């Protein structure tokens, strides 16, 4: 999958959780969603992407979620 | 699990639950019981029952012609007259209700005279060609003539009669021969009461009276060819053409329709191994004796000449196919899979199952992928239709399935349909829904397009919220806003049954002014007042039920919308009893089942996540192989990875991703990039054109198994003929092919019958614990959860508490799709389906159903057409960001200005050439319902279509003259 595709998909997930008042919990939920539904290779790729490009194109809450809560 | 091994019942035709008696009038529900005496026998029945029904229950047959228990009594033939002590005259038993203590006589000499006289009149205007009549032996008129002892007909045939009346052969499946009509009006009533189409009338009076179907003939009338009138006709007037051609069937086997998610039960009426007709089973839990044109008539594809019955292999997709034996094909596939996995890694292989497969087939396929391929890369076509339902309902209420039984609609007071078109997609259920609507239930429809239910005979929607495509979530928020701000929430229910904190967060969110109908009205294109009124009706109108379809799920916010629907139902206390609920209308027959069976990459059977250690341990010990705890790739992920060279081998069972998935060019490019594509199907479908191995499948008539319909009803599919996919060798049911492939990969699967597989499923899946073929033989069908607590299944779920424990509310922020209209792409294309065709059309296109739908057309509003100089019937080019195709225009005010609509039943239409790879945020379900496009008048096919035609012709030639190749 291209980084662009993953970035779009991750941002879509982030957008769903954006309206929650408790953003700490919301970030955990984003991370959990990625852990539960994304194949390992996709998670590795997005984590690498965040490292390499400082998460260009990703929303801030998504970057936080990926950094803090994605399991590899 | 059952300790008794399943064996095919010796009498294959009838099982114990299966009572085919015609009781003359419908059953009546009443707690009050009435006892009366009929011919000296005491019988006790519910109050309101007819004397006729009571007699038949007591084992006493009353002659009848115009009555049948699928229809309300009519009292026109007067053959069923009886005498009642203390009452005068000879009342018709079909229209006379029972009363306490009545003494009824059904056989007296006076009654015999009346009946003979009546029959004589009937017969005097009826041809006496019984011996050569198609229903000879299956004709109620004939039976009655015998029963009443008719011996002579005093009125000659010289006078005026109807014997020369002309036949109407216009319908491809049945004939109407008016010379045999006795004007009992069963057909007219069937069309009204069962089907709800009102296509037939009795025109004229007295001798002149005759059955009429609209203006000219059946084909030109409103008739939708459901077959209800044919089923109801007591004579040979309305009869299946196959019976005229082949004679009456000699045995019958109960099985389940393989088309849509209604899951109708049918009797396959057979002559040896040949199907003569499929008739709806009156004991069918989902259909109660009704059917639609697909299940009833469109089964001829099973013997269509296009069907491929030989295993085939080839090195490259540019080579001709080589016919081989089963062993060679299976070994070739196994060697390729091993080679590819050795070279590119385990995860370079995967499988796709289909909602057209039986539960057992899906189960063995996902088992093969997980246990033998050693990866969780298995997905199903539900990915592209109802995956958001699975996700959204699991999150909110805890179970990925509809909450109700179909019959529940008969208790509904308000019906809300969102993004579904039941009369076309789920016709038999739509008939039931229409019955309830004629009884007075209120109807709210949210759909960009005016579906038939908006206005049809005796049905009129109270509100049609004609929202713009892609704005569902704004709609649900606006409706919720009204509930919350106008005090319409059932707080007691919410307090008792839901997570109160989640409710508060949701309540505060939807109460924000930005979610008010006024604020969202212009985005939605629906007046605020209408939104408010609809919300009030929904909250205060009594039992309110929501039915929804792909118009909800196939959006970038599909999962959000499903959760929004659940929020609405919970907030108004509309889950957990009859008449209410959240009802996803599943497209294909086994969408529910294929999801239940663990065909999603992140879930084992029974919706247990692969990372759940307990569940995984259970499957590991049962299967004897280590299993991965990592979710696998979804279909779109597999395809993207294939394009990049990381995914190389695909086992695709019964699914046609090259036609049904979005952005066709992306899909075909991905398929071209793979080294081994194995397709198992009846036909050389679009995906098979990119395949290296072809396993010919067996049709639903050739195999055993189970399907699970939209109401979680598990119904048996029974083998009525030998699989035709042998080419000299023995044919195989599809699960056998998968099991053989598994064996060739070093993991033998020891099943002898689909029943063994179901037993394994039951042993490993709590909600299926009590399911077995034996139980299905006994009960006909069963709705899961079926376990020790609910041995006969569970029609209504979440009764005392949600499966999740407490229901959970989710915030549903409306996020407009990125698929926006622009100057370049100013219109929105949305897609749907029609009654006579099914999904990608592989089956229905190979039947006479093409009489109704020979090609896909584009509906365009006259205003948009005029701007572009397009008139009805013009070829128009439709261009999107993904591609271009050309279809014929159909001017229609069903769509609103700015929106065009098409179906995707024909591959050459290339409807998915233009759909984009946008998808649902949670599940990657493609956004089929919204594509920004431009439309122009053109004179020739698109480049894609021309290339498609060439490629397709070439591929078909590769599969022709196969005999010579072998
Ligand atoms: S086939 Fe169905 S729709 Fe057509 S006339 Fe008969 S009952 Fe009515
Ligand atoms: S067509 Fe058949 S069902 Fe209809 S009125 Fe005639 S005999 Fe009765
Ligand atoms: S297609 Fe659906 S509604 Fe029609 S007969 Fe089959 S299951 Fe029933
Ligand atoms: S069956 Fe009762 S009147 Fe015809």
DSSP annotation string for B132-159: G-TTTTS-HHHHHHHHTT-----S-SSS
Nearest ligand to the C-alpha atom of residue B184: 2
pLDDT for A34 beyond 90: yes
- From B173, B287, B707, B833, the mutation candidate for ligand 3 (largest count of ligand atoms within 8 A of CB) is B287
Q: What is the pLDDT of residues B674-694, one digit of tens each?
A: 999 999 999 888 888 899 999
ipTM of the complex: 0.91
B104 phi/psi in degrees, rounded to 5:
-110, 140
CA of B852 relative to ligand 1 center, distance in Å = 14
Question: Is A1 in Cβ contact with B632 (below 8 Å)?
Answer: no
CA distance B230 to B848: 17
Residue whose structure tokens are 């970057």:
A63
Nearest ligand to the C-alpha atom of residue B233: 2
* Distance between B465 CA and the closest CA of chain A, angstroms: 25
B369 phi/psi in degrees, rounded to 5:
-65, -45
Question: Is B640 in Cβ contact with A5 (below 8 Å)?
Answer: yes
Out of A2, A19, A40, name the one closest to residue B811 (CB).
Answer: A19
Question: Is A39 in Cβ contact with B601 (below 8 Å)?
Answer: yes
Give the single-character DSSP code of B675.
Answer: S
CA distance B548 to B2: 37
CA of B54 relative to ligand 4 center, distance in Å = 14
pLDDT at B355: 82
Question: Is A42 in Cβ contact with B921 (below 8 Å)?
Answer: no
CA distance B29 to B411: 13
CA distance B367 to B604: 9
Give the single-character DSSP code of A33.
Answer: H
CA distance B428 to B585: 12
Ligand 4 pocket check for B68: Cβ under 6 Å: no
CA of B168 relative to ligand 2 center, distance in Å = 13
pLDDT at B514: 94
Buried b vs exposed e over B407-446: b needs ≥16 C-beta within 10 Å? bbbebbbbbbbbbbbbbbbbbbbbbbbbbbbeeebbbbbb
Q: Name the interface residues of A facing B (CB cutoff 8 Å).
A: 1-2, 5, 9, 12-13, 15-16, 18-21, 33, 35-42
Question: Which numbered atom of ligand 2 lies nearest the CA of B200?
Answer: 4
* Distance between A54 CA and the closest CA of chain B, angstroms: 23
CA of B168 relative to ligand 1 center, distance in Å = 14
Judged by a CB distance cut-off of 8 A, whether residue B392 touches chain A is no
CA atoms within 13 A on the CB side of B854: 2
Judged by a CB distance cut-off of 8 A, whether residue B595 touches chain A is no
Q: What is the pLDDT of residues A3-33, one digit of tens each?
A: 888 999 999 999 998 888 888 998 999 999 9
CA distance B406 to B715: 14
Q: Ligand 3: which residues within 6 Å by Cβ? A: B 257, 259-260, 262-264, 287, 291-292, 294-296, 427-428
CA distance B603 to B616: 10
pLDDT at B841: 66
Residues 6+ apart with CB under 8 A from B618: B764
Q: Which of residues 146-175 of B touch A (CB under 8 A)?
A: none
Residue B815: list chain A partners with CB under 8 A: 15-16
Residue A7: list chain B partners with CB under 8 A: none
What residue's CA is closest to ligand 1, atom 3? B223
Q: What is the pLDDT of residues B864-896, one digit of tens each?
A: 999 999 999 888 888 888 888 888 899 999 888
Nearest ligand to the C-alpha atom of residue B72: 4
Neighbours of A57 (CB within 10 A): 15
Judged by a CB distance cut-off of 8 A, whether residue B212 touches chain A is no
Q: Which of residues 65-94 of B touch A (CB under 8 A)?
A: none
Judged by a CB distance cut-off of 8 A, whether residue B564 touches chain A is no
Residue A13: list chain B partners with CB under 8 A: 921-922
Closest alpha carbon within chain B to A30: B922
The ranges of chain B with pLDDT < 70 are 1-18, 155-163, 204-208, 213-215, 833-842, 853, 907-908, 961-966
pLDDT at B348: 94
Give the single-character DSSP code of B874.
Answer: -
Out of B630, B644, B813, name the one closest to residue A18 (CB).
Answer: B813
pLDDT at B160: 59
Judged by a CB distance cut-off of 8 A, whether residue B631 touches chain A is yes
Judged by a CB distance cut-off of 8 A, whether residue B346 touches chain A is no
pLDDT at B964: 40
Closest alpha carbon within chain A to B512: A19
Question: Is B611 in Cβ contact with A12 (below 8 Å)?
Answer: no
Ligand 4 pocket check for B312: Cβ under 6 Å: no
CA of B75 relative to ligand 1 center, distance in Å = 22
CA distance B280 to B292: 9
Residue B917: list chain A partners with CB under 8 A: 5
Nearest ligand to the C-alpha atom of residue B176: 2
pLDDT at B152: 76
Out of B505, B556, B637, name the one closest to residue A12 (CB).
Answer: B556
- From B50, B79, B90, the mutation candidate for ligand 4 (largest count of ligand atoms within 8 A of CB) is B79
């Amino acid at each position: 999958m291209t980084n662009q595709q993953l970035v779009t998909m991750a941002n879509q997930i982030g957008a769903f959780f954006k309206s929650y008042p408790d953003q700490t919990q919301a970030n955990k939920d984003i991370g959990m969603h990625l852990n539960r539904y994304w194949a390992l290779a996709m998670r590795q790729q997005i984590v690498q992407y965040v490292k390499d490009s400082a998460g260009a194109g990703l929303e801030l809450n998504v970057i936080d979620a990926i950094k803090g809560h994605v399991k590899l | 699990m059952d300790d008794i091994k399943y064996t095919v019942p010796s009498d294959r035709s009838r099982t114990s639950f299966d009572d085919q008696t015609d009781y003359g009038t419908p059953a009546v529900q009443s707690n009050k019981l009435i006892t009366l005496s009929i011919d000296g026998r005491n019988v006790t029945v519910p109050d309101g029952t007819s004397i006729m029904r009571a007699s038949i229950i007591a084992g006493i047959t009353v002659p009848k012609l115009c009555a049948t228990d699928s229809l309300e009594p009519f009292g026109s033939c007067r053959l069923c007259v009886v005498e009642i002590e203390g009452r005068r005259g000879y009342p018709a038993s079909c229209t006379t209700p029972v009363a306490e203590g009545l003494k009824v006589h059904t056989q007296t000499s006076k009654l015999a005279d009346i009946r003979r006289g009546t029959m004589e009149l009937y017969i005097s205007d009826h041809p006496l060609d019984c011996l050569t009549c198609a229903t000879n032996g299956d004709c109620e008129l004939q039976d009655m003539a015998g029963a009443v002892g008719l011996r002579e007909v005093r009125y000659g045939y010289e006078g005026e009669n109807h014997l020369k009346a002309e036949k109407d052969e216009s319908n491809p499946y049945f004939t109407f021969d008016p010379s045999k009509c006795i004007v009992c009006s069963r057909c007219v009533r069937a069309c009204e009461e069962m089907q709800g189409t009102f296509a037939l009338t009795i025109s004229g009076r007295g001798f002149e009276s005759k059955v009429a179907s609209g203006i000219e003939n059946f084909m030109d009338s409103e008739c939708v060819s459901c077959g209800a009138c044919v089923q109801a006709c007591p004579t040979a007037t309305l009869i299946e053409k196959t019976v005229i051609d082949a004679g009456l069937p000699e045995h019958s086997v109960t099985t389940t329709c393989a088309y849509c998610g209604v899951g109708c039960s049918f009797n396959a009426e057979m002559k040896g191994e040949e199907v003569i007709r499929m008739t709806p089973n009156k004991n069918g839990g989902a259909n109660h004796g009704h059917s639609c044109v697909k299940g009833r008539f469109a089964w001829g594809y099973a013997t269509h000449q296009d069907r491929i019955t030989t295993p085939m292999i080839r090195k490259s997709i540019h080579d001709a196919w080589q016919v081989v034996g089963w062993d060679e094909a299976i070994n070739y596939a196994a060697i390729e899979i091993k080679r590819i996995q050795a070279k590119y890694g385990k995860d370079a292989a995967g499988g796709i199952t289909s909602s057209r497969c039986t539960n057992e087939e899906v189960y063995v396929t996902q088992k093969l992928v997980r246990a033998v391929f050693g990866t969780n890369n298995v997905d199903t076509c539900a990915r592209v239709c109802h995956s958001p339902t699975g996700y959204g309902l699991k999150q909110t209420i805890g179970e990925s399935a509809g909450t109700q039984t179909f019959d529940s609609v008969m208790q509904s007071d308000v019906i809300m349909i969102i993004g579904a078109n039941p009369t076309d997609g789920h016709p038999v259920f739509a008939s039931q829904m229409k019955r309830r609507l004629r009884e007075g239930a209120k109807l709210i429809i949210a759909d960009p397009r005016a579906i038939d239910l908006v206005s049809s005979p005796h049905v009129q929607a109270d509100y049609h919220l004609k929202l713009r495509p892609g704005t569902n979530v704004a709609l649900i928020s606006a409706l919720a806003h009204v509930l919350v701000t106008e005090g319409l929430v059932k707080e007691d229910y919410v307090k008792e049954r839901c997570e109160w904190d989640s409710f508060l967060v949701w309540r505060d969110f939807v109460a924000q002014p930005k979610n008010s109908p006024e604020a969202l009205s212009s985005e939605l294109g629906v007046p605020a007042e209408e939104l408010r009124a609809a919300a009030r009706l929904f909250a205060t109108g009594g039992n309110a039920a929501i039915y929804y379809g792909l118009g909800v799920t196939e959006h970038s916010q599909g999962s959000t919308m499903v959760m929004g629907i659940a929020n609405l139902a919970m907030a108004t206390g509309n889950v957990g009893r009859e008449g209410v609920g959240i009802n996803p209308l599943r497209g294909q027959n086994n969408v529910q089942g294929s999801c239940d069976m663990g065909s999603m990459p992140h879930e084992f059977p029974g919706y247990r996540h692969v990372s759940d250690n307990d569940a995984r341990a259970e499957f590991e010990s049962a299967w004897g192989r280590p299993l991965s705890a990592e979710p696998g790739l979804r279909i779109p992920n597999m395809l993207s990875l294939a394009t990049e060279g990381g995914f190389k081998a695909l086992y695709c069972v019964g699914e046609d991703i090259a036609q049904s998935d979005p952005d066709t060019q992306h899909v075909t490019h991905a398929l071209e990039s793979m080294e081994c594509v194995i397709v198992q199907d009846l036909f050389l479908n679009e995906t098979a054109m990119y395949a290296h191995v072809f396993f010919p499948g067996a049709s639903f008539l050739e195999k055993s198994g189970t399907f699970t319909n939209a109401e979680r009803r598990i119904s048996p599919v029974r083998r009525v003929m030998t699989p035709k996919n042998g080419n000299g060798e023995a044919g195989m049911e599809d699960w056998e092919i998968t099991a053989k492939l598994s064996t060739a990969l070093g993991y033998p699967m020891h099943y002898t019958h689909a029943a063994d597989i179901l037993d394994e499923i039951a042993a490993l899946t709590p909600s299926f614990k009590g399911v077995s073929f034996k139980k299905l033989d006994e009960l006909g069908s069963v709705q899961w959860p079926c376990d020790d607590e609910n041995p006969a299944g569970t029609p209504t779920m979440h009764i005392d508490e949600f499966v999740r424990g407490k229901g959970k509310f989710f915030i549903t922020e409306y996020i407009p799709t990125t698929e926006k209209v622009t100057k370049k792409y100013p219109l929105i294309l949305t897609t749907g389906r029609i009654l006579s065709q099914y999904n990608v059309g592989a089956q229905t296109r190979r039947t006479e159903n093409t009489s109704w739908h020979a090609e896909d057309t584009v509906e365009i509003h006259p205003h948009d057409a005029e701007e572009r100089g397009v008139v009805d019937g013009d070829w128009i080019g439709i261009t999107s960001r993904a591609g271009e195709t050309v279809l014929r225009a159909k001017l229609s005010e069903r769509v609103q200005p700015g929106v065009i609509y098409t179906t995707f039943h024909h591959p050459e239409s290339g409807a998915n050439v233009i759909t984009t790879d946008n998808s649902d945020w949670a599940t990657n379900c493609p956004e089929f319902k919204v594509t920004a496009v431009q439309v122009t008048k053109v004179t020739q096919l698109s480049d894609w279509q021309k290339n498609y035609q060439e490629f397709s012709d070439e591929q078909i030639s590769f599969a022709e003259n196969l005999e010579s190749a072998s």
